[in-house]
Chain A
């Protein structure tokens, strides 16, 4: 069973609307959680990184939240734009893995339509 589960698997939203993506993880102990954006045909690009002591972090219209107690994170996209169409991948690291090993979710596929 994957240690990082994301929902919904895919999402279609109207341009200008907001949306929230969910990430639940079972990785323990926990070092940090990252959200990556992957455009079609490109490599993942980091949006936010949070340690267990951080509850929220923003990057422009992207806001990530983290509840380390319930092992849940969300990524909120505000006032979506067509360029937000991408896969959003939740990634968790554990000190048990060594800092160079990551546990990946399968991604939330977001399509923004005009």
Chain B
């Protein structure tokens, strides 16, 4: 029943490692997003994909690489993890053609870099 799911929920890793976070939505939406929420709880958009095409790419280090194998999935791969990457990462999806383009968020992945 979960509309937007993310795995893993928690991720603890050492500096310098490479890790991936997976996201899947079963809402039939055409657009997916990755957000970063820092310790001050501020949500910032990182990427947005519409029909597997990158449409938003904010000022994010190129160590972060999103991959969208299909409309229902948007994965986030992070190379050479740094301490400052520690945050909660949220995936979201929406239907751009919808009246409000309402975004539905996943439960988040708490990344801790040691």
Contact = CB atoms under 8 A, between A and B. Distances in A.
Given A93-B101, A101-B56, A106 B42 contact: yes
A20 interface: no
A102 interface: yes
Contacts of B103: 46, 102
A111 to B, nearest CB: 14
Contact of B45 (A42, A102, A107): A102
B50 interface: yes
B111 interface: no
Interface residues of A, number: 24
Contacts of B106: 43
A107 B41 contact: yes
A34 B94 CA distance: 14
A98 B97 CA distance: 11
A100 B4 contact: no
Interface in B92-113: 92, 94, 96, 100-108
Contact of B102 (A41, A49, A98, A109): A49
B45 A41 contact: no
Contact of B41 (A34, A100, A106): A106
Given A43-B90, A106-B42, A107-B41, A100 B108 contact: no
Nearest to A46: B102
Nearest to A109: B41
Given A43-B105, A43-B107, A43-B108, A99 B43 contact: no
B102 A100 contact: no
B24 to A, nearest CB: 14
A38 B107 CA distance: 10
A100 B42 contact: no
Contact of B94 (A32, A51, A89, A100): A100
Contact of A101 (B4, B45, B108): B45
Interface of B: 4, 31, 33, 40-45, 48, 50, 55-56, 90, 92, 94, 96, 100-108
